[in-house]
Amino acid sequence: MASCGAQDSFETPDFNVPEALLRQGVNVSALPELAGLVERSSNLACSTACRSLNILPGFEVLLEDSTNYTAFTDAYWSTQQAEVNPICIFKPLSSKQVSIAILISRLTRCPFAVKGGGHAAFEGSSSIEGGITIALEKLNEIKVTADKKSVYVGPGNRWGQFYTELEKHGVAVVGGRVNDVGVSGLTLGGGISFFANMRGWACDNVESYELVTASGLVLTVTRKSFPDLYWALRGGGNNFGIVTKFQLHTFPIGKMWGGSKLVASSDFENALDATYNFGLTGAVNDNKGSQIISFANQAGYGPLAQAFLTYSEPSETLPSMFKDWSNISLVQDTTGPHSLSELVTLLSTGIPDGVRETYWDVTFKLDRSLFSYLVNTFFELLPNIVSAENLLPTISIQLLTIPQLQQMQKHGGNALGISTADGPMFIMNLGTMWTSPADDARIFKFNNDIIARVREEASKKGLNNDYIYMNYASGYQAVISSYGDENQKRLKSVAEFYDPTRIFQELQPGYFKLDGGAPLGTFL
Ligand SMILES: Cc1cc2nc3c(=O)[nH]c(=O)nc-3n(C[C@H](O)[C@H](O)[C@H](O)COP(=O)(O)OP(=O)(O)OC[C@H]3O[C@@H](n4cnc5c(N)ncnc54)[C@H](O)[C@@H]3O)c2cc1C
Ligand SMILES: *[C@@H]1O[C@H](CO)[C@@H](O)[C@H](O)[C@H]1NC(C)=O
Ligand SMILES: *[C@@H]1O[C@H](CO)[C@@H](O)[C@H](O)[C@H]1NC(C)=O
Ligand SMILES: *[C@@H]1O[C@H](CO)[C@@H](O)[C@H](O)[C@H]1NC(C)=O
């Protein structure tokens, strides 16, 4: 086992990239584009890197002028990511190919990005202008272990198809709630699930990671083998290496109960009461339930709230922990007995691909009057953007209950920097869809203004918490520093050890880096 101590870094100062490539069976001197590159300072670094990857046997590379290239870039969830043009797209078939790509990127100094499910919203998150996009879609293994207690899953999988496969074995994992979202990005940033109150977040339920490091080594990271990396990968995002396989804890699942309850504005306060009670006591008394509530202005209806409720056991009727909902009049109700994959499909409706997207979030102590304040602020500021074409803005409340925060402490705790002492809390997250770039600025300002206003109100009552959830954060927010000084320092020291030349900080520049800044800068 390698660990801090005798050596002060995981990679020796005389680490030689061509030698590391040779150990992987790639002879740099035999590749015309790369031979002599060590001496040459080339501004064609990326076309060199891409053409070299392209001629390696069994490597699947899409170059900029190929027809499949456009189909690939178009398939990102948000237009902002789809608009980014890498020099090539590389689809590795093995962890060894991932290792070779990292080393060739180091050798050429061509920057790269890594794409899991491609659902991060802002540009450069899992795409890179003028670099190599390493797309993990072909690493799509799903293998339930013989004892059915865990599953090996490749980072190319998406939650919907993954759950459907797991259901054949009668098991589930703690994971995402929408079909097409990627297993890997969600799990690396945290991962809020229907099972959060009973089992914590997705990252709290990873048993091992297969990780390709900056030196091109393929490590199996467990709590025992590399405790520092294991901790850092639970919430640290893309800063430590490329995960080529996850081993996730599984648990038996049968039929569940759940669905959405749509509420008109006359009943918003009742729905917020129910949400508050769930966060304060409901989830404490019974950790099998989950809920998320979102508010939007729906064409043809006006203001609406959608509460999505689930219960992890079968029920024909409303589980008693949701009894507050029995007296709330509903515009529509899809709750009932459903499998996990059916629930995920229900929650996936109305989320199109291929429009402009922005996500933002902040965290507060649970407070009933702040709920009303944030909903009212959202509808009060909405006229500022309501004329934007194809607009769909939403504001959501997601509860960080005490039992959920307790589950986050297992396996030595995760890197997120939130504790039961801070709870119960909630994440306020905002998501907006629109289509014209001309509306970008005012839509970002709308989201930023809501956060500023609600933070100001919360500060009067001492309700602010610093934590910003990576997976819902905008490029104008600083995530890693929100984990607290101590955790940020610890994350940096882990990275310094395994990645002493800062490959995942500098050569992979996108998304939330360990210096803690906002990837797109501060919003002005
Ligand atoms: C419609 C929708 C529904 C959502 N629902 C939920 C939900 O229920 N719960 C929740 O917690 N979040 C949810 N999210 C947020 C979601 O977790 C993030 O968008 C997440 O980044 C998606 O992961 P991805 O693999 O699809 O994204 P990507 O854009 O591919 O990846 C995100 C980041 O992770 C990095 N990355 C991805 N894979 C790897 C890897 N294998 N190794 C190293 N780095 C990697 C990428 O480089 C990128 O920086 C949702 C988002 C959307 C758009
Ligand atoms: C690498 O390729 C060069 C040029 O073709 C060759 O001379 C050399 O022997 C090769 N090295 C190894 C270790 O195969
Ligand atoms: C392009 O995509 C098609 C359909 O997925 C596939 O059959 C074909 O092999 C791809 N071509 C290249 C060059 O990758
Ligand atoms: C629902 O309303 C009925 C009649 O007004 C009342 O008796 C009952 O206590 C209410 N239930 C809840 C859970 O509020």
* 3-class SS letters over 349-386: CCCCCCEEEEEEEEEEECCHHHHHHHHHHHHHHHHHCC
513 within some domain: no
Q: Are residues 295 and 238 in the same domain?
A: no
Question: Cβ(15)–Cβ(499) under 8 Å?
Answer: no
Q: Does the beta carbon of 25 sit less than 6 angstroms from any atom of ligand 2?
A: no
In the reported structure, the alpha carbon of residue 26 is separated from the centroid of ligand 2 by a whole-number distance in angstroms of 10
Q: Kindly state whether residues 336 and 452 are assigned to the same domain.
A: yes
Note if the bond before 18 is cis, omega within 30 degrees: no
pLDDT of residue 40: 43
Same domain (yes/no): 391, 377: yes
**Has residue 515 been placed in a domain?**
no
Among the three residues 135, 170, 190, which one is the final residue of a domain in this structure? Answer: 135
Find out whether the beta carbon of 1 lies less than 6 Å from any atom of ligand 2.
Answer: no
Beta bridge partners of 243: 211
Q: Are residues 486 and 472 in the same domain?
A: no
Whether residue 521 is contained in a domain is answered as no
CA distance 101 to 110: 10
Taking the CA of 209 as reference, the closest ligand is 1
Task: Single out the residue in 100, 135, 170 at which a domain terminates.
Answer: 135
Report the residue among 323, 324, 327, 329 best suited for mutation to probe ligand 4: largest number of ligand atoms under 8 A from its CB: 327
- Domain total of the chain: 3
Q: Are residues 281 and 377 in the same domain?
A: yes
**pLDDT score at 9:** 75
- 250's tokens: 């599984």
Asked if residue 145 has its Cβ within 6 Å of ligand 2, the reply is no
Residues 146 and 170 in one domain: yes
Hunting for tokens 């293998």 — which residue is that?
A: 143
Q: What integer pLDDT is reported at residue 7 of this predicted model?
A: 61
Instruction: Output the pLDDT for position 37.
Output: 59
Q: Which of 68, 70, 93, 137 to mutate to test the pocket of ligand 3 (most atoms within 8 A of CB)?
A: 68
Q: What is the pLDDT of residues 184-206, one digit of tens each?
A: 999 999 999 999 999 999 999 99
Q: Which domain holds residue 42?
A: 17-135
Place of tokens 């705790």: 413
Nearest ligand to the CA atom of 23? 2
CA distance 163 to 154: 13
Residues 6+ apart with CB under 8 A from 126: 76, 81, 113, 114, 115, 116, 118, 120, 133, 185, 510, 511
Looking at the structure, do residues 219 and 313 belong to the same domain, yes or no? Answer: no
The helix-helix angle for 159-167 and 340-347 (nearest 10°) equals: 160
**Residue 121 CA to ligand 1 centre (angstroms):** 9
Inside any domain, residue 42: yes
Tell me, yes or no, whether 410 and 261 share the same domain.
yes
Domain containing residue 389: CATH number:
3.40.462.20
- Which residue has a Cα nearest atom 36 of ligand 1? 185
Total residues found in the chain within this entry? 524
Same domain, 275 and 409: yes
**pLDDT value of position 31:** 84
Q: What angle do CA 266, 270, 271 make, to 5 degrees?
A: 95
DSSP 279: I
pLDDT the model gives residue 219: 98
Asked whether residue 68 is domain-assigned, the answer is: yes
- Given this model, what pLDDT does residue 42 score? 42
Å from CA of 176 to ligand 1 middle: 9
**pLDDT < 70 positions in the chain:** 1-7, 35-43
Residue 522 located in a structural domain: no
Q: Which pLDDT score is estimated for 354? A: 86
Ligand nearest the Cα atom of residue 29: 2
Q: What is the pLDDT of residues 256-298, one digit of tens each?
A: 999 999 999 999 999 999 999 999 999 999 999 999 999 998 7
CATH number of the domain where residue 75 is located? 3.30.43.10
Q: State if residue 36 touches ligand 2 by the CB under 6 angstroms criterion.
A: no
Does the beta carbon of 317 lie inside 6 Å of ligand 2? no
What are 302's strand-pairing partners?
Answer: 298
| Co-location of 455 and 324 in the same domain | yes
Measured by CA distance, the residue closest to atom 8 of ligand 4 is 327
* Measured distance CA(494)–CA(224) in Å, rounded: 15
How many other CB atoms are there within 10 angstroms of residue 415's CB atom? 21
Q: Is 29 in the pocket of ligand 2 (CB under 6 A)?
A: yes
User: What three-state secondary structure class fits 156?
Assistant: coil
> Is residue 518 included in any domain, yes or no?
no
Helix 268-277 with 368-381: angle, nearest 10 deg: 140
Tell me: do 321 and 185 sit in the same domain. Answer: no
Half-sphere exposure of 168 (CA within 13 A, CB side): 8
Q: How far away, in angstroms, is 74 Cα from ligand 3 center?
A: 15
> Given this model, what pLDDT does residue 36 score?
57
Q: Domain check: are 280 and 332 in the same one? A: yes
